Amino acid sequence: QIRESATLTRDVLEQHFNDLKGTLKKLLDERLLSLLQEVDAIEQESIKPLDECQKLIEHGVSTADDLLRDGESAVNGDVGQQNEKLCSFTKKALHIQLDSLPEVPSLVDVPCLSAQLDDCLLTILKNQIFRHGTVASRPPVQLEEFVEKPGGILVRWCKVDDDFIPQDYRLQYRKGTATHFEDVYVGSETEFIVLHIDPNVDYQFRVCARGDGRQEWSPWSVPQVGRTTLVPHEWTTGLEGYSLSSRRNIALRNDSQSCGVLYSKAPTYFCGQTLTFRQVLSGQLIETVGQPDRRDSLGVCVEQQNGYDSLQRDKAVCISTNGAVFVNGKEMTNQLPAVTSGSTVTFDMEVVHLGPPSNEGGNFKLRVTISSNNREVVFDWVLDQCCVSLYFGCSFSYPGWKVLVF
């Protein structure tokens, strides 16, 4: 691990600084080109009026030379032609203005280009470069625990650097020996349930963190392998009133008039585990059909029983969408918050009695904890038969309800 991580760190450092060299050279070349273009623009703009002034002066001098030659010719010519040449010279001289010159800017108004280069840039760059990058012997966060879930893995991590103050965590995973890791969670929690995990397949996980007020992420934790042996929870296919996702872990109540309870494909919920339902409501559908029905329920049962339109029956415990809790079809006095869009409902069960029949008429007792919106109820569920694996189910009267189970 030490040699492998050291080799990888060297490669990352070399690649990063090579990229920086290329980027800095490109930026310097672009800045140089920009300054040269600025010099060209100032030169062209400043030299143009001076060039025009020079052309006017040269034209005036040339005209004066021509007039001077004409005057010398008139004076030195034949006497017969002298009067005619002097007359022509006089007319030409009257039409030429030799006593005016174009305005020439003073020397202080003429641009004199120079380059202003501040050496402090090198000092700034030097200080920034010498502070750029660090080498950490240990990442500030590490993976701590993997808990098997049906078709998923609960991943927990912890901070191992006391001086590091985390703001966000970033969890990634990859299947088997896949090339690339994928982001699966970014947030402030220190645990996350990764779903859509194939049973009995190794997955690699790694986590990093972002310090408080910082943009860059910390080094990755040491990758660790997690797996689950528990098959994923699935809803039963073929019930007319419900549409299922491709993995059959999400059920949507459609607009069919058919009623009934949608059960799990098999009794995949075992005592000692946590069963979670997560609700998603389609607001548009709910608004068009009215409020949820009092028979709407989420829960677990001993066996599938067709012919019922709700889980509020014998050999079942459930919570209705208004928060009422039912045990074997009887409503309890304790009530939980109503189930709404985004609500999460969890069921936890453990065996507390297994033996001869008790005064309550059964010989098997499960302690049930139902939690919803940070509140919970705890009660004993007495059964007349041993049950350590149970079915789960849901029933909804109106379309738009969407249930994810894990």
DSSP letter assigned to residue 39: H
Q: Are residues 94 and 153 in the same domain?
A: no
Domain-embedded: residue 72: yes
Q: What is the pLDDT of residue 359?
A: 52
Taken in order 382, 385, 388, 389, is the CA torsion positive or negative? negative
Q: What integer is the mean pLDDT of 77-99?
A: 70
Query: DSSP label at 248?
Result: S
pTM over 0.75: no
Whether 302 and 333 share a structural domain? yes
Asked if the structure places residue 237 within a domain, the reply is no
Contact 255, 388 (CB under 8 A): no
Give the separation between CA 209 and CA 133, rounded to whole angstroms.
16
Question: Same structural domain for residues 119 and 248?
Answer: no
Domain shared by 185 and 257, yes or no: no
137 in Cβ contact with 126 (< 8 Å): no
Domain boundary at 131, 158, 190, which?
A: 131
Domain for residue 235, yes or no?
A: no
Q: Please state, rounded to an integer, the average pLDDT across all residues of the chain.
A: 85
What whole-number distance in Å separates Cα of residue 75 and Cα of residue 62?
Answer: 20
Helix (H) or strand (E) holding 278, with range, is: strand 274-281
pLDDT band at 286 (very low <50, low <70, confident <90, very high): very low
Pair 297, 338 in one domain: yes
Whether 296 and 397 have beta carbons less than 8 Å apart is answered as yes
- For 327-385, the pLDDT digits (tens) are 999 999 999 998 887 889 999 999 986 655 555 555 789 999 999 988 999 999 998 88
Domain range for 110 is 1-131
Note whether residue 148 is domain-resident.
yes
Whether 16 and 119 share a structural domain: yes
> Within this chain, do residues 124 and 172 fall inside the same structural domain, yes or no?
no
**Domain at 386, CATH number:** 2.60.120.920
Last residue within a domain, chosen from 78, 107, 131: 131
The answer to whether residue 179 sits within a structural domain is yes
Write out pLDDT tens, residues 144-157. 999 999 999 999 99
Model confidence at 192: pLDDT above 90: yes
First-to-last alpha carbon distance for the chain, in angstroms, is: 35
Q: How distant, in Å, are the alpha carbons of 140, 170, 173, 275, 362 from that of 190? A: 13, 10, 15, 20, 42
The DSSP code sequence of 171-197 is: EEEEETT-SS-EEEEEES-SEEEEESP
3-state secondary structure of 402: strand
Across the chain, which distance is largest between two alpha carbons, in Å? 160
Per the structure, the count of domains in the chain is: 3
In the DSSP assignment, the letter for residue 162 is: T
Q: Say yes or no: 184 and 212 in one domain.
A: yes
Last residue of a domain, one of 70, 101, 131: 131
Are 208 and 300 members of one domain?
Answer: no
Residue 205's pLDDT band, with cuts at 50, 70 and 90, is very high
The verdict on 224 and 248 lying in the same domain is no
What integer pLDDT is reported at residue 104 of this predicted model?
65
> Which has more pLDDT, 111 or 323?
323
Tell me how far apart the alpha carbons of residues 372 and 383 are, in angstroms, rounded to a whole number. Answer: 24
Same-domain status, 105 and 164: no
Same domain for 80 and 111?
Answer: yes
